[in-house]
Structure 1
Amino acid sequence: MYATVEAMQRKFGERELIQLTDTEAPYLDAINMDKLNAAMQEANSEIDAYVGSRYALPLQIIPPFLIEIGCNLARYYAVTGDLSENDPVKNRYESSIKTLTKISKGELVLGGSPVGESKPVQTSSNNVMFAVGRRDFGNGGW
């Protein structure tokens, strides 16, 4: 999971999450968890779609910037109504999608090996090893 309730509260604060999700009568002045969870699920699945095209899922270590992207996407999906061209919510969403596109194309890396690529062999000392091949030009001289 990239976007979580805790991450959303740290990033945007409870008041903003209430404003985003408590949009239908009866207004309870509380976070509408159903709406917030739906927005986070949509954001997380979109990130998986981009990242999963390049990396094996689930990721073993989630980079903090993917959590940031997940929160930005979830916030965008939680907004009801139209957004202006210069709205910060829309700008963060578009920037996040550009970053995810770069990840899926391999222009940005998350660490680890992309899907289908082998991992380097780990040795106890991580030394480079050489193998002596055959000699094609005689017994020690040309």
Structure 2
Amino acid sequence: MYASAAQLLARYGAEEIAQRADDSVPSLVDGVLLAKAVRGDDLTGYSPEEQAAAGAALANIERTLRDADSTINGYLASRYQTPVTNAAGVLERIACQLARYFLYDDAVTDQVKKNHDDAVAFLRDVSRGNVQLGPGESGATAQSSASAEMVSEPLVFSREDSKGFI
């Protein structure tokens, strides 16, 4: 995966992600509980309902991170072998932006939408070859396997053959 649940929480805060990932009504998962669940800490101090809600919230986060990976790979597969391993920093950021957008579902804020749109635009630029993710494993820039080649027959008419008609 390009980003982990811990990286998503570190980037956007456990409280914000908990609010978006917890589907229980009323909300049972706060940032502290979610951070503990992500770290794998002991949750015996919480009620069984809270533990179940934390597990469901963590499952939502993992699902959105997988969706982000699929989106990234969909754009990059035409130019790179996926999953891409040589651009971890930038792809972590992109994966977190996409996962955050997916968590917001139908309540997306303007800033979250802008971050998502910027991430998709970046991925489009990479897929078109306008932006390179970095050197490949061998130190060479990754190249597309698609290439164009022009082949033509020899000239039918030339100045030498036409004796002044052309």
Same fold (TM over 0.5): yes
- Which range moved further: 64-73 or 75-84? 75-84
CA shift for structure 1 position 26:
5.3
Structure 1 position 24, deviation (Å): 2.4
2:20 maps to 1:20: yes
CA distance in 1, matches of 2:85, 2:77: 13
Output the CA distance in 2 between the equivalents of 1:24 and 1:42: 22
Q: Which of 145, 155, 164 in structure 2 is aligned with 1:116?
A: 145
Bigger helix fraction: 2
For 2:26 and 2:114, locate their aligned partners in 1 and report how far apart those are by CA, in whole Å: 31
> Could you list the runs of 5+ residues in structure 1 that have no partner in the other structure?
118-142
User: RCO greater where, 1 or 2, for CA within 8 Å and sep 6 or more?
Assistant: 1
Which segments of 5 or more consecutive residues in structure 2 lack a partner in the other structure?
35-56, 137-141, 147-166
- Deviation beyond 6 Å, 4+ runs, structure 1: none
Instruction: Find the counterpart in structure 1 of residue 128 from structure 2.
Output: 105
SS in 2 for 1:23: coil
RMSD of Structure 2 on Structure 1 (CA): 1.8
Aligned to 1:38: 63
Aligned pairs, number? 115
The residue number in structure 1 matching 2:5 is 5
Instruction: Report the structure number with the largest CA radius of gyration.
Output: 2
Distance verdict in 2 for CA 1:34–1:63, change over 3 Å = closer
| Rounded Cα–Cα distance in structure 2 between residues aligned with 1:70 and 1:60 | 13
Percent of aligned pairs with the same amino acid = 29
What residue identity is the alignment partner of 2:62? N
